[in-house]
Amino acid sequence: MVQVKVNEGLLEGERVTSDLVGTFYSFKGIPYAAPPIGDLRFKAPQPVKPWSGVLSAKQHGPQCPQYNIISKQLENGSEDCLYLNVYTPNLEPNKPLPVMIWIHGGYFCSGNGNDDVFGPEFLIRHDVILVTLNYRLEVLGFLCLENEDIPGNAGIKDQVAAMKWVKNNISSFGGDPNNITIFGQSAGAVCVTLHCVSPMTKGLFRRAIAQSGTLQNWWGREFRPRERAFALAKKLGCTSEDEKEIFNFFKEQPWEKLVGIQIPLTWKEKDLTSEGFITMFSIVSEKVLPNVETFFTGDITDALKNNVHEGVELIVGFNEDDGAITFALIHDIENTISWANNSEGYFVPTTLGQKYSKDELKEIGSEMKKMYTRGEIVSKNNLSPVANYYGADFYKYEILQFAKQFSVKNKVYFYIFSCFSERNVFAKLFGISSYFTKNVVSHNDDIAYLFPISNINQKIPKTSVSYNLIYRMTSLWTNFAKTGNPTPDTKLGCNWRTFNAKTKSYLNIGNELTRGVAPLREEMEFWEKMYEKSDKLFTTKSS
């Protein structure tokens, strides 16, 4: 047992022995904000109250109520879920240690910070401190009525509260409050990039890593949030048009009735949800209100031009086959094949499908289909066109656009992740690996090279391919957290060059490290032409 004093009181954690790390210190289930229950549901997090005596920090706190996008079922949780975990290799180091705060993904509707997935051993052996956390999800975290009762963005404001807690307390664990890196994957990466432009988080961190997601990805921004909130109330039986009545209705519902409901507002959303699930509640551009601190308001493009925190260094990129499991979340294989071959709107970029009708987008949909299918029929033996389309639509195109904008003022390192070993499990988990003739490096596969996921074989011989890939990946990430440069010396055998709109330099993080320029040049240039074409088409129509 080991005790640490933080601002709110005494914590008792554990001294842990690991074959991979040796000894480290674990503190789990630390409350970083007051329970968001009762009148605090949907509100920004409030400070945690100090406690007397010693608080046990040996077990994770409850996960937040959620819908599991893999099992497609509600999972048990508690609205009292705002807890974080701290893992440190040394409580009294000679020099304060760099700190890495992990923000989990899960499409804004599932996930937690627990060590069955996000264990610390791979990272903290590089002499950094790892912090993981829970934040409110789905309706409870991201419902928005655009008023003081439900202003929106509660879930990402939870993250801000956790970051403030770390800033104020991490020195007690041997950490450096002036050298904090935030990093996250998928929805967590969207949050990371939003923290880079929010006035609420300025000065709370020094560096950022965004894996397979940015604030520009369409699924990371809620579409017509107020309208969606009213539609949800109506679907649940509340037909009132009065905001206060709707707020009271939402406040009184058990969480099980609120979570996991699809409220599609456009034809594209209806197509995507007809057989599967897409997130309905995520980050909103908040309405400025007199008694509410705003996390984000205004336009995404303007924010990237004017609000990026000065001096924040960034790693950003995506996985080679990020789209491979995405279509499996949305449609089963038979429906995927049918829709890809027969629906004129299937290959339409979702951002355009939220603005315009299917008829208006026929021409663009047809050109996109030709680009991805090359005139071939989509079948069980030929699903790559669908995976490649979803990879670009959900992730790659908008991630690259973000990197270009961010690099105008700040240092950016861009990557494509293509490591493959027995740790690439997600295509198998979704039952789609047999439909591809190549090794699939799907969405989420990068996580297994940063964290010792419990359901993957934990015996990793030092002579194995996996061991070397894990060591190299975690070295890149922790080097960056320590120095701002992922390759500060020649130990990894490659100098990772910075990215900007002119050089477009990137690193392919595969079974070997290789440098390149202009990632996915042909495909990304084609997407740019499609957006240019749509701009001209609808500008002409409106005039």
Residue 541 has pLDDT above 60, yes or no: no
pLDDT of residue 275: 60
**Average pLDDT of span 275-295:** 89
Mean pLDDT over 270-280 rounds to: 74
pLDDT range class, residue 334, cuts 50, 70, 90 = confident
- pLDDT of res. 72: 81
| Confidence band, pLDDT 50/70/90 cuts, at residue 273 | confident
- For residue 264, pLDDT over 90 is answered with no
CB 155, CB 173: distance < 8 Å: no
CATH number among 3.40.50.1820, 3.30.70.100, 3.90.180.10, 3.40.50.1110, domain 318-542: 3.40.50.1820
Helix (H) or strand (E) holding 28: strand 22-31
- pLDDT band of residue 303 (cuts 50, 70, 90) is very high
Instruction: Name the token pair of 170.
Output: 């991490």
Among 364, 417, 425, 363, residue whose Cα is nearest residue 391: 417
CATH code linked to domain 2-309: 3.40.50.1820
Percent of the chain with pLDDT over 90: 79
Run of H or E residues at 273: helix 267-273
| Range scoring the smallest mean pLDDT among 154-168, 211-225, 266-280, 386-400 | 266-280
pLDDT for position 449: 97
- Asked whether residue 212 carries a pLDDT value surpassing 70, the answer given is yes
Q: What is the pLDDT of residues 17-68, one digit of tens each?
A: 988 888 999 999 999 999 999 999 999 999 999 999 999 999 999 999 998 8
Q: What is the pLDDT of residue 220?
A: 92
Question: How far is CA 265 from each of CA 49, 352, 378, rounded to the nearest angstrom?
Answer: 41, 14, 28
Domain ranges of the chain: 2-309, 318-542
Res. 460 pLDDT band, cuts 50 70 90: confident
The residue-averaged pLDDT of 513-524 equals 96
Q: Which residues contact 235 (CB under 8 A, 6 or more apart)?
A: 261, 263
Residue-level pLDDT at 276:
67
Please give the average per-residue pLDDT across 112-138, as a whole number. 97
With both helix axes pointing from N to C terminus, report the angle between 521-542 and 362-373 in degrees, rounded to the nearest 10.
170
Mean pLDDT of the chain: 93
Taking 60 as the threshold, does the pLDDT of residue 225 lie above it?
Answer: yes
Tokens of 317: 């990129």
pLDDT at 454: 84
pLDDT at 270: 82
pLDDT above 80 (res 327) = no
From the CB of residue 438, how many other CB atoms can be counted at a distance below 10 Å?
11
Whether 331 shows a pLDDT value over 80: the answer reads no
pLDDT band (50, 70, 90) for residue 288 = very high
From residue 296, alpha-carbon distances to 2, 87, 217, 301 in Å are 39, 30, 16, 12
pLDDT digits (tens, 9 = 90+) for 362-410: 899 999 999 999 999 999 888 899 999 999 999 999 999 999 999 999 9
**Residue 458: band (very low, low, confident or very high) from pLDDT cuts 50, 70, 90:** low
| 397-447: pLDDT as tens digits | 999 999 999 999 999 999 999 999 999 999 988 888 888 889 999 999 999
Checking if the pLDDT of 543 tops 50, the result is no
